[in-house]
Amino acid sequence: MNKGFSNNSNLDNDKAEEIKNPKTGLAKILAEKKFTYTLPGKRQINIFATIVLGLNFILLIGIILFLNNESFHDFIFNFGR
């Protein structure tokens, strides 16, 4: 007779715990591993980077116009009301 724990008894205990506490919701989806994460490709990274940089550039131009152009400042002030 061997002393200690065997691998088979650990597997049986895991199955018994799953039966006692069935997983629901997000835990069930993650346990079944139906979804896998894949890293974005180079083209997708370039598209998102272009969008982010473009929007930052538009924001920067808007801030400069807001501070330096009185008519644009009035337009934004009146548009915000």
pLDDT tens-digit readout, 24-78: 777 777 777 766 778 889 999 999 999 999 999 999 999 999 999 999 999 988 9
3-state secondary structure of 61: helix
CA pseudo-torsion sign 64, 65, 70, 74:
negative
More confident residue, 24 or 8: 24
Q: Does 44 fall in a domain?
A: yes
CA pseudo-torsion sign 32, 8, 6, 10:
positive
Q: How many domains does the chain have?
A: 1
Q: How far is CA 28 from the centre of its chain?
A: 19
pTM across the whole model: 0.52
Q: Does 2 fall in a domain?
A: no
Q: Does 1 fall in a domain?
A: no
Domain that holds residue 39: 7-79
Q: How far apart are CA 76 and CA 81, in angstroms?
A: 9
Q: Does 12 fall in a domain?
A: yes
